[in-house]
Amino acid sequence: MDLYTPTGIIEIIKDAGFTFSKQYGQNFLINEAVVEKIADAAVPENRSEPIGCVEIGPGIGSLTAKLAERFDKVVSIEIDKRLIPILEKTLCGKENVRVFNEDALKVDFKSMLEKEFCGMSVSVCANLPYYITSEVIMRLLESGAEFDSLVLMMQKEVAQRLAASPGQAEYGSVSAAVNYYASVKKLFDVQAGSFMPRPKVTSTVIRLSPYNGKKPVVPTDERLFLRVIRASFAQRRKTLLNSLESFFKGEFKREKLLEALNKAGIDPGVRGETLTLEKIKELSEALF
């Protein structure tokens, strides 16, 4: 079966009576060299045996097949049940792959790691469905599962936001939240011509390296800290004080917020996007 040419893919999906679903963000990779490059990037640098991989959204299995050649075990999570019989054919004979017909936004990754990988070092690799990129990333990072690394393809603009530093225009609540859990490295761009159907945007592959037990800041109340991140960026054109006030309405009065900002040594007139994680932590400690 030819998973890496337009004619091969058309044959596979025609045989199965499959049509692409926009709702599920289905843009399948057709460029074998790109698929190999993504799969290679997912293999841990200091490789220790055995290694496992979680894939979100295998589609017809193009990336899955390459991951299966590099990892001892691959678990792929696909929401679209129409793809399951196709995957059974395209991945036939790959004994180290398990496919689950589930929504990645509902999976308990921590218990999946315990049940499926029994102590292996596990990475995540995915050409993410673009409509839920941030939600999937946050779910993976917040799951409590200790991943070795996450090599993920997404829309170029989203990757730029995740890789941005405080003070840059692209920096936002997702950048801050992701940076709390992991360091972010941009790897390479992938042009629209490498997909079928062709998306309107350029894509970028990034690597997230989770801090796991060694986070850059340690807030007393993590939930409050993560809410302060969201509050700081809730209204981008407002000053930090106004943004916090509208987010925490009914919970913290303006005077209390001003007092906390003063205690943390933050000018209430700045914009949220200038705050470092350290400053956000100081603010959440003052509110705690």
Residues forming the site for ligand SAM (CB under 6 A): 24-29, 56-59, 62-63, 77-80, 83, 103-105, 127, 129, 132
Instruction: Give the Cβ contact number of residue 123 at 10 Å.
Output: 23
Return the DSSP state at 195: E
Nearer to ligand SAM by Cβ, of 99 and 231: the residue is: 99
Q: How far is the CB of 119 from ligand SAM (least distance, A)?
A: 25
Q: How far is the CB of 9 from ligand SAM (least distance, A)?
A: 9
Nearer to ligand SAM by Cβ, of 28 and 181: the residue is: 28
Q: How far is the CB of 102 from ligand SAM (least distance, A)?
A: 7
Say which residue the tokens 């290679």 belong to: 40
Nearer to ligand SAM by Cβ, of 26 and 173: the residue is: 26
**Tokens, residue 223:** 């939930």
* Sign of the four-CA dihedral 7, 13, 15, 17: negative
Whole-number Å distance between alpha carbons of 275 and 167:
7
**Of 1, 53, 8, which is closest to residue 28 (Cα–Cα)?**
8
Query: Largest Cα–Cα distance in the chain?
Result: 66
Residue nearest ligand SAM (C-beta atom)? 57
**Tokens, residue 245:** 């006030």
Q: How far is the CB of 244 from ligand SAM (least distance, A)?
A: 32
Return the DSSP state at 198: P
Nearer to ligand SAM by Cβ, of 190 and 277: the residue is: 190
Nearer to ligand SAM by Cβ, of 65 and 261: the residue is: 65
**Tokens, residue 118:** 């029994």
Whole-number Å distance between alpha carbons of 274 and 203:
27
Q: How far is the CB of 62 from ligand SAM (least distance, A)?
A: 5
Q: How far is the CB of 191 from ligand SAM (least distance, A)?
A: 14
Cβ proximity of 162 and 183 under 8 Å: no
Return the DSSP state at 265: T
What is the H or E stretch that residue 200 is in? none
Q: How far is the CB of 72 from ligand SAM (least distance, A)?
A: 20
Q: How far is the CB of 58 from ligand SAM (least distance, A)?
A: 5
Nearer to ligand SAM by Cβ, of 81 and 237: the residue is: 81
**Tokens, residue 177:** 């939240």
* Sign of the four-CA dihedral 175, 245, 238, 266: negative
Nearer to ligand SAM by Cβ, of 89 and 263: the residue is: 89
Nearer to ligand SAM by Cβ, of 196 and 283: the residue is: 196
**For residue 7, with 0-12 CB atoms within 10 Å meaning exposed, 13-18 middle and 19 or more buried, which class applies?**
exposed
Whole-number Å distance between alpha carbons of 89 and 86:
5
